[in-house]
Amino acid sequence: MTAAADSVERKPWRSGARATLTPELKTAAILLAPSILLLAVVIVFPIVQGFWFSLTNGSLLKPGKFIGLGNYVELLQSPAFYHSLRFSALFAVCNIVGSYLIGLGLALLMQRDMPGRGIYRVLLLLPWIVPSLVSIVAWRWMVMDDKALFNVVIKAFGGSPIFFLSESEWAIAVVIMIRIWRSVPFMMLSLLAALQTIDRSLYEAAAIDGATRWQSFWNVTLPQLKNISIVLCLLMTIWTVNDFDTPWLLAQGGPANATETLVILAYRSTFARNDVGMGAATSFITLFILMILVFFLLRLQRRSA
């Protein structure tokens, strides 16, 4: 029992900006200790070593020579890098827009009182819960040749079969569609939770003012969701850019490198080309780009908070 009890009468919880060893700081430090320990071991050590790798030209078995920023320079001059950068950006943007819109729609739907709502909520989580290998195998079956389900339906409507995994543009569309499909449940769940916390009285006030359904959605619901939406989009961007499974399991970044993302490029450099330096450099550049993005998006959120 500390003496703080005497002086704390109505003292606010938030201490000032001074980082002295106030009871709050000590308490905070204790509370953070387990997390910091885990992070130090698993993240800090590899980051440092990874950065060192990116400055050498070795393989995993033979440490190479120090070549300074050589890897980075080579990377920034290679067309493969810009191609995968463009595709990673396309992949991320499409996923965010698609999964947010569909997720929001489903969240609004799941707010309605209807029989079986609880079951539907769980079943709609399946695309997220099913392991990636299995869901991608299932999708491949649906699109892979002229006897696949999608083409059966297309032919029933009188069209000619589309070879989704053979043509680069269609393969890109399929991988984006699968990514959105896998992201929607998470967006739906998060937005649903956020929707539940919107103060009902705001809607009542809008109704009294004569607002239509659409107006109250636009003027009450959306602004209330703004903060969490920005955070969700941020998270989803990070997860999408770092997503190895979806493009790899579908077509290993093919056909003809059409769906190669930055992560796949890094993986190929490290394990297929034996060039750990390049792989590490690619990963660090990706990290750097993400950091810039996060920084700007957080600024946006802070300004509107």
Partner 1 sequence: MNKSTRFTRRATLGLAAAATALTIGMVPAYSQAVTLDFWDMAWAGADYVTTAEAQVAKFNAENPDIQVTYRNIPWSNWYETFVTALASGSAPDVSTGGGFQAVALYGQGEILPVDDVIAEIGDDFVPGSLDAMKYDGVSVAVPWATSTRVLFYRKDILEKAGVAVPTTFEEFRAAAKAVTGNGVYGLVSSGDAGGMHWIPYVTLANGGGLFNEDGTAGLTSEASMTGLGILAGIVADGSLNPASVGYVNNDAIGSFGRGEAAFLLSGALMPSQVPPEAAALIGVVPPLKGAHGEAETLHFVNNIMLYKQTEHPAEAKKFLKWWSDNALPLWSEGKVGNLPTRASVAADERFASNEFAQAALNEYEPIAKTLSEAKGGTFPALNAVDGDGFLVSLVQAIWQGQPLDAVVPTANDHLTELLAE
Partner 2 sequence: MLQSTARNRWMWSGVTLLIVLLINLPIILMVLNSFQTTEQMLASRNIIPNVFSLDNFWALQKTPFFTYLRNSLITSFGATVLAVAAAILAGYALARYRNKLLESYAAALFGVQMFPIILALIPLFLLFKPMGLINTPFSAMIVYAVVNLPFITWMARSYFETIPRELEEAALIDGCGPIEVFFRIVLPLSGPGIVAVSIFAFLFSYNEFFVANVFLRTKEAMTLPVGLRMYMEDNITDWGGLMAAATVMLIPTLIMFAFAQKFITHGALTGGVKG
Cβ atoms 149, 142 nearer than 8 A: yes
Smallest distance, partner 1 to C-beta of residue 143, A = 8
5 counts as binding partner 2 under rule CB under 8 A: yes
Helices 222-241 and 79-111: crossing angle in degrees, nearest 10, is 140
Candidates 19-27, 71-79, 88-96, 155-163; binding stretch for partner 2 (CB under 8 A) = 19-27
| Residue 47: half-sphere exposure toward Cβ, Cα within 13 Å | 10
Cα–Cα distance for residue pair 243/113, rounded to 1 Å: 35
Residue 302 buriedness (CB in 10 A; 0-12 / 13-18 / 19+)? exposed
154 counts as binding partner 1 under rule CB under 8 A: no
196 counts as binding partner 2 under rule CB under 8 A: yes
Cβ atoms 81, 266 nearer than 8 A: no
What is the DSSP secondary structure assignment for residue 160, as one 8-state letter?
A: P
Single residue of 60, 149, 193, 298 touching partner 1 by CB under 8 A: 60
Tracing tokens 């707010």 back to the chain, one arrives at 111
In the complex with partner 2, the residue whose CB is nearer, 24 or 74, is 24
| Contacts to partner 2 from residues 157-176, by CB under 8 A | none
Cβ atoms 149, 137 nearer than 8 A: no
Smallest distance, partner 1 to C-beta of residue 257, A = 5
Single residue of 211, 254, 289, 297 touching partner 1 by CB under 8 A: 254
101 counts as binding partner 2 under rule CB under 8 A: no
Cβ atoms 276, 59 nearer than 8 A: yes
Single residue of 24, 58, 221, 257 touching partner 2 by CB under 8 A: 24
In the complex with partner 1, the residue whose CB is nearer, 55 or 265, is 265
Candidates 39-47, 59-67, 90-98, 108-116; binding stretch for partner 1 (CB under 8 A) = 59-67
Please state, as a whole number, how many other Cβ atoms lie within 10 Å of the Cβ of residue 51: 13
In the complex with partner 1, the residue whose CB is nearer, 165 or 176, is 165
Cβ atoms 265, 80 nearer than 8 A: yes
62 counts as binding partner 1 under rule CB under 8 A: yes
Single residue of 32, 36, 126, 146 touching partner 1 by CB under 8 A: 146
Smallest distance, partner 2 to C-beta of residue 72, A = 15
In the complex with partner 1, the residue whose CB is nearer, 75 or 206, is 75
* Strand, helix or coil for residue 170: helix
> Contact residues for partner 1 (CB under 8 A)?
59-62, 140, 144-146, 163-168, 171, 251-257, 268, 271-275
